[in-house]
Structure 1
């Protein structure tokens, strides 16, 4: 099992990573962040992506979908943003957020690595 600091460091080793966070989507607060830039404020991203997760969960509920979210991908012109709800013990209500430079990232590998990090994370 890995702690939050170790998991954030592992997320930042993914090719193309520019910012990583562990976010509580109940409050919209980032519990931990690493990376970011003047153009990527991870606290603002955490709060904004909380609304994305909540909206998707409401929509799934309205549709009667009895499934779980594996990840949510937002594709921008120059970046990928991956939101991965934590399903392990103690992770209820949390998600991993990873922003990637699209020119340097391999999306399939990034998703695979993020899943492995999520499986090891102990909050």
Structure 2
């Protein structure tokens, strides 16, 4: 089991990663961040993406969808933003967030690696 800091460092090893966070979508707080740029404030990104997670969960509830979210992908002109809610009781209410450069990232590999990192994360 890896702690949060080790997991965030591992996320930054994903090709194209420019920043990552572990956030609580109930409070909007970033519990840990790494990387970022002058244009990518990870605390702000984590807080903003809590609204994305909450909105999707509300929509699923209204549609009576009983499945769980594996990940949410937001595709921008030059970046991918991936949100992966943590499964398991210990991670309830938390999600992983990573911003990737499209020119360097392999989306399938990034999803695979993020899934593996989540499986070993101990929060």
TM bucket (normalised to shorter chain) is over 0.9
Shift of 1:95: 0.1
**Structure 1 vs Structure 2 CA RMSD:** 0.5
SS of the residue 1:84 aligns to:
strand
Q: Deviation per CA, 1:4-35, whole angstroms, max 9, x where unpaired?
A: 00000000000000000000001101000000
> 1:67, 1:88 → 2: CA distance?
14
Shift of 1:88: 2.7
SS of the residue 1:10 aligns to:
helix
Structure 1 residue runs without a partner (length 5+): none
Count residues with an aligned counterpart: 123
Shift of 1:47: 0.7
1:8 aligned partner: 8
Shift of 1:40: 0.3
Structure 2 residue runs without a partner (length 5+): none
SS of the residue 2:87 aligns to:
coil
2:104 aligned partner: 104
Q: Which TM-score applies when normalising by structure 1? A: 0.99
Q: Which TM-score applies when normalising by structure 2? A: 0.99
User: After TM superposition, which residue ranges in structure 1, 4 or more long, deviate above 2 angstroms?
Assistant: none
2:60 aligned partner: 60
Tell whether the 8 Å contact from 1:89 to 1:122 is kept in structure 2 after alignment: no
